[in-house]
Each structure stands twice: as C-alpha cells, then as structure tokens.
Amino acid sequence: MKITENCIVEIDLELRDEEGELVLTTEDEGPIEYLQGGEDLPLPGLETALEGAETGAEIEVKLESDDAFGPYDYEWLISVPRTEFPPDAEIVPGDVIPVELASDEGEELGEKEMIVESISAEAIVLDANHPLAGQSVTCKAKVLSVRAATEEELASLQEEDLQ
C-alpha cells in the first residue's frame, strides 16, 4: 500500500541539523506513527516527501526551515521579570525550562519548554522558538508500515480538531 491521505504510517526517523549533528532518532524511543494528511508529523516537508512511498522505502530529504520547524521569529523572545523566578534559581543562558502558559483570561494552556536566552538583574529573556527554527534539517526515514486509518481513528481525530 502506498502512503496517501488518511493512511496510518509508521516510520523510523533520523534527524540531523545544518552541521550534520544527530538531533533526533527513533532508535531509543521506538518508531513514530502518524496520520498522513492529519498534520500529526511536526515536519510538513517530510510528510510531503513520504507521499506515495511504500513499506520498506527509505528516503533522505533536506528540508528548509519553512518545511521543517519554521522560520526564527524574534517576536517569540519573551522578557520575564526576574521576580517571577525563585531568587535562588540557578538558571544560566542555554538552559531549557518548562513554562506554564495561560491565556489573558487566566485559562491554563499547558506547558512549553523555552530556552533561556539571557539574564539580567531585571529580567530573564526566554526564547519560545523551536531550537531548530530557522534552520534546514536532513531527515532519513524508513517506512515500517502503511495501512488505511479506521473509521474510528478518523472520527477520533475529527473530535480532537473540534476541541
């Protein structure tokens, strides 16, 4: 079966940054399963490259930032008053810290990891961009299985989209 929209696809993946450094592999965590066309895969260019492939296919594709983790957005640099952090917090630039997000109305929106960009006596600047935003990446993927999504799987995904 070829990969087309509404197929459940299972892949092994290896992801390298612009310098060729390995940044992600499914070797330890196990394969990735996603719905083709369901925007489950965070790399839209990889999903496009896999379209039409069959079980056993191996692809290697270089994705520019727009087809990978998106462009770097300076508006995602957030200055947080130093008083929002515990006074004894040992935070240094480059640290990745979890941040609880809330709407303007106070509704909890979940947690997002952000990178500490800089620290001053008044504020800590956090970067909410993906660490690979603005970079091209190289993906190697091996298609392990392809099958049609069940009606239940498609209905479940539609319910999630409505929420």
Whether residues 18 and 61 share a domain: the answer is yes
Would 2 be classed as within a structural domain?
no
Whether residues 83 and 122 share a domain: the answer is yes
Would 1 be classed as within a structural domain?
no
Whether residues 50 and 98 share a domain: the answer is no
Domain count, the chain: 2
The CATH number of the domain where 97 resides is what?
2.40.10
pLDDT tens across 126-136, in order? 999 999 999 99
Would 60 be classed as within a structural domain?
yes
Whether residues 80 and 119 share a domain: the answer is yes
pLDDT tens across 42-92, in order? 898 999 999 999 999 999 999 999 999 999 999 999 999 999 888 888 899
The boundaries of the domain holding residue 98 are 74-127
pLDDT tens across 120-163, in order? 989 999 999 999 999 999 999 999 999 999 998 888 766 665 55
Residue 55 tokens read as 């079980």
Residue 102 tokens read as 């809330």
Strands (E), the chain: 7-16, 22-25, 32-35, 58-63, 77-81, 96-102, 108-119, 123-127, 137-148
